[in-house]
């Protein structure tokens, strides 16, 4: 049984997709040990509590220094002894100590086809005057392992989503979530929990059983 912990910052629709997939067996061999948010008002915490999952807020604002916040975050995560950490809309820089400790055991969902539209401070979809930069026609989402770079770790799954001419950023973001994020994040967890992928030379390979 793969024990996972989920880190969140906001609404938690990706968390909900994971919870639903565990409950309806789309994800197998997996239990959710905790949900941690940096934001006390994150609706994701409510979603977790409704399903009797330990839900905690660890806010940087409660600590005098970033180091103290990082230590509290790491200590709390370590107390659960999980096999995999899932960043499901976690908008905080993950401490490098945690990344080193959990090498190829942290995954992230990102709302674009990496390496397009990634980078520091990027949240949602890069929109300039109502359209994706230079009128991009295809976007999507990516699930990848987290390394010490920004969105640079080995890619597990990607799914493309069409950009329509009259899309607003809100309409497009919703389509990316519905058609891509809520599907590939649970699918990636299921692949990991069933030993179906391995990281070889910094690339994800499918393992045939």
Site string for ligand GAR, 104-123 (x = CB under 6 A): -----xxx-----------x
Contacts of 66 (CB under 8 A, 6+ apart): 60
CB burial readout 13-29, b (16+ within 10 A) else e: bbbbbbbebbeeeebee
With 0-12 / 13-18 / 19 or more C-beta atoms within 10 angstroms meaning exposed / middle / buried, residue 41 is exposed
CB 95 within 8 A of CB 72: no
- Tell me whether residue 13 or residue 30 sits nearer to ligand GAR (CB atom): 13
Active site residue 110: yes
Question: In whole angstroms, how close is the CB of 194 to ligand GAR at the nearest point?
Answer: 23
Q: Which of 51, 110, 128, 144 is catalytic?
A: 110
- Tell me whether residue 88 or residue 163 sits nearer to ligand GAR (CB atom): 88
Among 5, 6, 7, 13, interactor with ligand GAR by CB under 6 A = 13
Q: Is 12 in the site for ligand GAR (CB under 6 A)?
A: yes
- Tell me whether residue 75 or residue 162 sits nearer to ligand GAR (CB atom): 162
Question: In whole angstroms, how close is the CB of 124 to ligand GAR at the nearest point?
Answer: 6
CB 47 within 8 A of CB 19: yes
Among 2, 14, 69, 114, interactor with ligand GAR by CB under 6 A = 14
Which among 167, 190, 177 is positioned nearest to 110, based on CA atoms?
Answer: 177
Q: What part of residues 118-177 is at the interface with ligand GAR (CB under 6 A)?
A: 123, 177
**SS3 state at 128:** strand
- Tell me whether residue 89 or residue 102 sits nearer to ligand GAR (CB atom): 89
Peptide bond between residue 115 and the one before it cis (omega within 30 degrees of 0): yes
Among 89, 140, 153, 186, interactor with ligand GAR by CB under 6 A = 89
- Tell me whether residue 123 or residue 133 sits nearer to ligand GAR (CB atom): 123
Give the separation between CA 168 and CA 146, rounded to whole angstroms: 30
Phi-psi region of 5 (alpha: psi -120 to 50; beta: other; left: phi over 0): beta
Which residues are identified as catalytic?
A: 110
Residues at the site binding ligand GAR, with contacts judged by CB under 6 A: 8, 10-14, 44, 88-89, 109-111, 123, 177, 181
């Amino acid at each position: 049984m793969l024990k996972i912990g989920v880190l969140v910052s906001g609404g938690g629709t990706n968390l909900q997709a994971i919870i639903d997939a565990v409950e309806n067996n789309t994800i197998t061999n997996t239990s959710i040990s905790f949900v941690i948010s940096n934001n006390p008002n994150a609706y994701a915490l409510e979603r977790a509590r409704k399903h009797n999952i330990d839900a905690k807020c660890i806010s940087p604002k409660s600590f005098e220094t970033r180091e103290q916040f990082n230590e509290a975050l790491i200590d709390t995560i370590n107390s659960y002894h999980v096999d995999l950490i899932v960043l499901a809309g976690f908008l905080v820089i993950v401490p490098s100590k945690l990344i080193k400790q959990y090498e190829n055991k942290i995954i992230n969902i990102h709302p674009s086809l990496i390496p397009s539209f990634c980078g520091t401070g990027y949240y949602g979809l890069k929109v300039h005057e109502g359209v994706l930069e230079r009128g991009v026609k295809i976007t999507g989402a990516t699930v990848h392992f987290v390394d010490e770079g920004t969105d640079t770790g080995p890619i597990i799954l990607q799914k493309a989503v069409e950009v329509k001419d009259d899309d607003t950023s809100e309409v497009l973001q919703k389509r990316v979530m519905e058609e891509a994020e809520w599907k590939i994040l649970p699918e990636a967890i299921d692949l990991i929990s069933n030993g179906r992928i391995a990281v070889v030379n910094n690339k994800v390979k499918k393992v045939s059983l």
